[in-house]
Chain A
């Protein structure tokens, strides 16, 4: 019989809970209000039955039978000595009291809607019981009927008379009460994170490939930054003490291609820039990874000057006579001439010259009774081609041929891509030419200077080889720049300034060419001569680069504009 009684009693309790809990969930669920930052400290709501942390949005009965307790901190898994649950004493405050008020009236006791009892503070206020149905003084029935948004919490006061007590501190949360049912819920606390920073020491190593190269050529620097975990961030590359570039790490390494600037030792280093990765807040905890900066040891790349082999002397034209022709014949098929000789010469290494003035065309081996050689640098007209014993200088055979096309003019092109920043206010002996760097120049990271977008960079190195030590006609290195284009937007080529730079000059007896006057960004004019060599000189091997400055006219739409710069080497 006792068993049946127990069930009845249990029903009494459970029944009371169900009546209040089910109704609001169907149609009148209270919504969680916004957090009110005017409270003197955050307030956590705990379930009275086990002091577990209640969740914002939970629908709570007006007169919850489990009770609700407030705490200055969330309850931990191990409740311990409950010290976490005590609101500390405050100077000047002698009593505390639970209250419910309209927002903004928390510190005006006479305006409170409901309140509890004044209790002495003593050594603190431990997990006070506060919920709407518990605050019996004032007009609880009216609050329940009207519903709405209220502040609910405890007030520290300097007295126990409502009319005269001053609120020294007020700790509260915001609740939304459903009209009629009185079901309520409370606002979520703003996320509060405990931040822990973990230091990671790093090591930066630097390597180059190649470690020896001609001046003006490039080498690739690779910086590898290691730590206990993969290192993110940026690496600064230095040439000597000059910062060359900043490159983002990918999987712990970064590369940068640099031009070998000078003969001998070129010293490079890489510096990993101190970096902190901010973690996400998970369960009120956040771990930041602080990667300590580090610098590599110095790395030396040796720059070399390319060896220049001047052409050998050749016999004068009058040595080409019927006695030395030896029945040879010559023909021309652009860009090569073929000299057909007696098969007895097969396997013989010979120097090849073109006439009238001897022009050294190279050293070849007679094969199948002939040699074939590039004569593109000869002008149109009648020429002679001869093979000469390298040792004795004797003419072994020669013949005439007619070149039908003009001399080739060495040329290469580079595409130049120049970025324009957002926000510009109206603003904005061989006789050869060899490109030593890439085919694209990207002018990135523009700066705003006096409202105009200005970006700069280097053209990249190239070399002119002029070993024409006998004829010495001189040459002109012509430069043209197309207008810059981005879709339908254009910028005139005058925006590109070019300042020629000589990187290296080599060749015994050679004359250094004359550099053209720098073209100033914004007032540049093309075509323009990068460099010239006057007649009567040969220039040997000249390695060049150029500083580029691109100034976008005011009002230019932001974006990347593309143009083509063409360098053409023209013999005089």
Chain B
């Protein structure tokens, strides 16, 4: 299913970069080779970043963020095992997820190798659905620039005749389901599901519920799961439940991303706060829910020296791409139809709770 979800977006990039701007997207299968900057990492930010870097008409206006007129290469979290991000650069293991993305960025800066490959200069931006957390450091070599606010909720597949059982749950009920103390809600025997172990969504979800902070849990599914995140089609059994990025659900329901909502799956409500409001096609984030502890700011991570005007490595173009106050940037949350923020809202993101960049990872 990943192929179905991700490939079409990647293809658009590939066509424009490899064949020249006047080419119609052909049925080629290739990842982009970027003439400018490269972003890797989180699956959660992937769809909206693809929209911004490849161009999107979601707001009615064509919005495409460029680097001095050049296309930005945004690499999906999943796909072929290896990627080549820049011409003449090496093929290296595809960074899958937030943590992998940040690690690849560090390897690109420090030349320390990524999964055994020297990728110096091959990665410029890491997508991260997690904050710097414990890695925050006032003298850090990286800087986390807020990108938008997402929220994690759950998606369920109801049992016929008992549709209301899983529609609205409390944090206590969800915690009981994921630590194994609860197996039934109402008349529904719950089939608890969770994304694969590297998923940022899984990690955050378990932490939000107070089950664990490292992504471990005592359920058998937690050790065996290979389930991709944000894929509703994985819920084939009635009574199933799985954590899900609300932004991703909204983007799929609104038609800006290939939908996986193919089998009657529904978005759950936690503690009485709806994660999204409106109807499919015009879903918007539930502001109250995004403001709870289930909400999370997401980030683009870059090397601090390259956006610090006082540093010899300063790169005005990269600084422009992640300058929150600049309307033409990736991190802008301007609401006009020509601005990135309006696109991100269509993809289920609200403005981050803070626009303050956070430095992290000192070495």
A212 to chain B, nearest CB (A): 78
Which residue of the partner chain A has the closest CB to B16? A117
For B62, B309, B314, the residue with the greatest tally of chain A CB atoms inside 10 Å of its CB is B62
Asked whether A48 and B338 contact (CB < 8 A) given A67-B327, A133-B69, the answer is: yes
A82 to B336, CA, bound (A): 9
Distance between Cα atoms of A44 and B22 in the complex (Å): 26
Question: Which among A13-21, A305-313, A424-432 touches the partner chain?
Answer: A13-21
Within residues 285 to 344 of chain B, which ones have a CB less than 8 A from any CB in chain A?
304, 307-310, 314, 316-317, 319-320, 322-329, 334, 336-339
Task: Mark the stretch among B38-46, B53-61, B252-260 that contacts chain A.
Answer: B53-61
Within 8 A of B (CB), among A130-151: 133-137, 140
Residues of chain A from 1 to 39 with CB closer than 8 A to chain B in the complex: 1-6, 8-13, 15-16, 19
Pair A13/B356 contact, Cβ less than 8 Å: no
How far does the Cβ of B27 sit from chain A's closest Cβ, in whole Å? 16
Q: Does B346 contact A (CB under 8 A)?
A: no
Give the CA-CA distance A269 to B226 in the complex, in Å: 103
Among the stretches A120-128, A246-254, A289-297, the one at the interface with B is A120-128
18 A-B Cβ contacts within 8 A?
A: A1-B359, A9-B322, A10-B325, A11-B309, A13-B320, A13-B329, A16-B319, A48-B338, A48-B339, A49-B327, A50-B336, A51-B338, A115-B21, A117-B16, A119-B62, A137-B21, A160-B23, A165-B22
* Residues on the A chain within 8 Å of B355, using CB: 6
How far does the alpha carbon of A122 sit from the alpha carbon of B317 in the complex, in Å?
32
Q: Which residues of B contact A125 (CB under 8 A)?
A: 62
Given A9-B307, A136-B66: A16 in contact with B316 (beta carbons within 8 A): yes
A49 touches B61 (CB 8 A): no
B176 interface residue, CB < 8 Å from A?
no
Instruction: Tell which of B55, B143, B338, B357 has the most Cβ of chain A within 10 Å.
Output: B338
Rounded to whole Å, the gap between the CB of A412 and the closest CB of chain B is 85
User: Given that A2-B358, A48-B327, A82-B337 are known contacts, is A9 also in contact with B70, CB under 8 Å in the complex?
Assistant: no
Q: Is B145 part of the contact surface with A, judged by Cβ < 8 Å?
A: yes
Contact between B66 and A5, CB atoms less than 8 A apart: no
CA A133 to CA B325, docked complex, whole Å: 19
Alpha-carbon gap, A240 to B299, bound state (A)? 91
Q: What A residues does B323 contact at CB under 8 A? A: 9-10, 12-13, 16, 65
A85 to B336, CA, bound (A): 12
Q: What chain B residues lie within 8 Å of A5 (beta carbons)?
A: 138, 143, 356-359
Name the residue of chain A whose CB is nearest to the CB of B137: A1
B63 within 8 A of A: yes
**B68 at the binding interface (Cβ < 8 Å):** yes
**Would you list the 5 A-B pairs with minimal beta carbon distance, nearest first?**
A136-B69, A13-B323, A15-B309, A12-B319, A1-B138
> Contacts A63-B69, A128-B62, A160-B22 hold; do A13 and B326 have CB atoms under 8 A apart?
yes
Q: Are A65 and B336 in contact (CB under 8 A)?
A: no
Interface of B is mostly: loop
A161 beta carbon closer than 8 Å to chain B:
yes
A40 close to chain B: CB less than 8 A: no
Contact status B326-A66, CB under 8 Å:
yes
CB of A493 within 8 Å of the partner chain:
no
With A13-B319, A19-B316, A49-B334 given, can you name 18 additional A-B contacts, CB distance below 8 Å?
A1-B359, A5-B138, A6-B355, A12-B309, A13-B320, A13-B326, A15-B314, A15-B319, A50-B336, A82-B337, A119-B55, A127-B61, A128-B62, A129-B63, A129-B328, A134-B69, A135-B69, A136-B68
CB atoms of B60 and A126 under 8 A apart:
yes
- Interface of B toward A, CB cutoff 8 Å: 16, 20-24, 55, 57, 59-64, 66, 68-71, 138, 143, 145, 304, 307-310, 314, 316-317, 319-320, 322-329, 334, 336-339, 355-359
Chain B residue numbers with a CB within 8 Å of A2 are 356, 358
Give Cα A266 to B322, complex, Å: 90
Contacts of B71 in A (CB 8 A): 136
Chain B residue nearest in CB terms to A11: B309
B69: chain A residues at CB < 8 Å are 63, 114, 133-137, 140
In the complex, residue of chain A having the shortest beta-carbon distance to the beta carbon of B317: A63
> Which residue in chain B gives the minimum CB-CB distance to A83?
B60
Check A238 for interface membership: any CB of B closer than 8 A: no
- What residues on B are CB-neighbors of A119 within 8 Å? 55, 57, 62
In Å, the complex CA distance between A449 and B114 comes to 101
Distance in angstroms between the alpha carbons of A117 and B70 in the assembled complex: 11
Shortest beta-carbon distance, B223 to chain A, in Å? Answer: 37
CA separation between A48 and B63, bound complex, in Å? 11
- For the complex, what is the distance from the CA of A5 to the CA of B322, rounded to whole Å? 14
In this complex, the member of A1, A5, A12, A48 whose beta carbon has the largest number of chain B beta carbons within 10 angstroms is A12
| A69 at the binding interface (Cβ < 8 Å) | yes
Q: How far is the CB of A243 from chain B (nearest CB, A)?
A: 63
Contacts of B339 on A, CB cut-off 8 Å? 48
Min C-beta distance of B112 to chain A, whole Å? 24
List the A residue with the shortest CB-CB distance to B328: A67
Q: Give A128 to B16 CA distance when docked, in angstroms.
A: 19
> Which A153-180 residues have a C-beta within 8 angstroms of B?
160-163, 165
Q: In the complex, which residues of chain B have a beta carbon less than 8 angstroms from the beta carbon of A116?
A: 21
Residues of chain A lying within 8 A (CB to CB) of residue B328: 48, 64-67, 129
Contact residues in B for A128 (Cβ distance below 8 Å): 61-62
Alpha-carbon gap, A10 to B320, bound state (A):
10
Q: A11-B308, A116-B21 are in contact. Are A129 and B337 (CB under 8 A)?
A: no
| Bound form: Cα–Cα A1–B139 in Å | 9
Q: Are B337 and A127 in contact, with the CB atoms below 8 A?
A: yes
CA distance A128 to B337 in the complex (A): 10
How far, in Å, is B254 (CB) from chain A's closest CB?
17
B320 interface neighbour in A4, A65, A135, A165, Cβ under 8 Å? A65
Find the A residue at minimum CB distance from B325: A13
Q: In chain A, what residue has the closest Cβ to B69? A: A136
Minimum CB–CB distance from B63 to chain A (whole Å) comes to 7
**A126 B16 Cβ-Cβ under 8 A:** no
Contact B62 A12 (CB under 8 A): no
Given A63-B68, A128-B62, A135-B69, are A117 and B338 also a contact pair (CB < 8 Å)? no
* B79: min CB distance to chain A, Å: 23
Which residues of A (59-113) have their CB < 8 Å from a CB of B?
63-67, 69, 79, 82, 85-86
Q: Is the CB of A12 within 8 A of B314?
A: yes
What's the least CB distance linking B337 to chain A, in Å?
A: 6
Contacting residues, chain A, for B308 (C-beta < 8 A): 8, 11-12
Q: Tell whether A528 is near chain B: CB-to-CB under 8 Å.
A: no
Which residues of the other chain, B, contact A4 by a CB distance below 8 angstroms? 138
Query: Given A65-B320, A135-B69, A136-B66, does the pair A118, B22 have CB atoms closer than 8 Å?
Result: yes
Are A65 and B329 within 8 A (Cβ)?
yes
**What is the CB-to-nearest-CB distance from A108 to chain B, in angstroms, rounded to a whole number?**
14
A165 CB, min distance to chain B CBs, angstroms: 8
Contacts of B20 in A (CB 8 A): 137
Q: CA of A11 to CA of B357 in the docked complex: distance in angstroms?
A: 12
* Chain A residues with CB under 8 A of B64: 117, 129
Please determine whether B66 and A16 come into contact, CB atoms closer than 8 angstroms. Answer: no
What is the chain A residue whose CB lies nearest that of B337?
A82
Least distance between B174 CB and chain A CB atoms (Å): 31
B309 touches A162 (CB 8 A): no
Query: In the assembled complex, how far is the CB of residue A439 from the closest CB belonging to chain B, in whole angstroms?
Result: 77
What residues of chain B lie closer than 8 Å to A51, measured between beta carbons? 336, 338
Select from chain A the residue with minimum beta-carbon distance to B326.
A65
**Residue among A3, A15, A122 with the most chain B CB within 10 A?**
A15
Residues of A within 8 A of B309 (CB): 11-12, 15-16
> A111 to B22, alpha carbons, bound, how many Å?
14
Minimum CB distance partner of A4 in chain B? B138
Q: Tell me, in angstroms, the Cα distance from A9 to B322 when the chains sit together.
A: 9
In whole angstroms, how far apart are the Cα atoms of A8 and B304 in the complex? 9
